Structure 1
């Protein structure tokens, strides 16, 4: 009887699982965000040549985060990871305004894909700690984010290197998922 009770209590304590796709152009800070969320050392980060996957526990939720490289040659393979995505996190380098148009084009391509239909989108406006960083409202205007319809979206200021704004974004992700489940 003791084992049965233990198994029932374990089942009752199960976390909710989310499959998170972390995308953005190269050098946007995706891997730094992933490592910061996982409370790992962020001093030496190399460009992602393929993908990283980590399980991050947050607020009784288990987030399986797929961080896919953002180099132009890798982006064509992003679609291989769309299946069963709960939330898309798209990372923008706020200090690289010259590439905002390219980042916007890639985001629009993602949003048009049927496999990501209705998937909520969190846009991290990363590198806000840098002097030349554009404010999230400026990025929203440049990328015309208000045209996003038929899905929940949020732009969140953050600095992955300082760990600022990351948990606010994840809180929004969890809130969207809980709303969707109801």
Structure 2
């Protein structure tokens, strides 16, 4: 029976009638807004009254995405990623743009992830609704990501596979443009 299901799935994918979901992992330091962002993306109309499941399937611009969240995990993002790296198509790295004291720590984690992987990474600078939040340019500089996206070969392996977008989980803004960029990157990689 499993053979028949696998064959039908393969044929539907081959004919373009069905696509396998892309797996995106949501990472970041603690208190960067991962769980709230995960909840907003997976249940946009609901109030957050409980912890969401660690993985949910969503649809963005017609693409099925299996979104996996690091959540309140105390493990370093890089260690969490190692458990799932084989099945991940892209990552979203959340950064608390209002916590200037931890930007160097976020930079180290991000660069470790970039050194260990070759998939696209969307960096979301969260909490832009707070007055102490850094600008997009300041966040790019603090994280060592040039604005022109011509990244150092030792840092990111590929030109343009990481990009910063600013967002606010509380105000529910700024996700769309970042995820559209990520979808384009995943599509380009799969070509």
- When the two structures are superposed, what TM-score results if normalisation uses the length of structure 2? 0.78
CA distance in structure 2 between the aligned counterparts of 1:181 and 1:83, rounded to whole angstroms: 15
**Residue 128 of structure 1 corresponds to which residue in structure 2?**
128
Which residue of structure 2 aligns with residue 26 of structure 1?
30
Count of residue pairs the alignment pairs up = 168
Cross-structure match for 2:82? 79
Unaligned runs of 5+ in 1: 1-6
Q: Hey, what does 1:56 align to over in structure 2?
A: 58
Query: Would the aligned equivalents of 1:123 and 1:156 in 2 still touch at CA under 8 Å?
Result: yes
CA contact (8 A) 1:32 1:45 kept: no
Q: Hey, which bits of structure 1, 4+ residues long, moved more than 3 A? A: 10-13, 42-46
* Map of 1:3 onto structure 2: none
Q: Which moved more, 1:62-71 or 1:129-138?
A: 62-71
Unaligned runs of 5+ in 2: 1-7, 147-151
- How far did residue 44 of structure 1 move? 4.3
- Report the CA distance shift for 1:170/1:84 in structure 2 as closer, same or farther (over 3 A): same
RMSD of aligned Cα (Å): 2.4
Which residue of structure 1 lines up, in the alignment, with residue 157 of structure 2?
A: 150
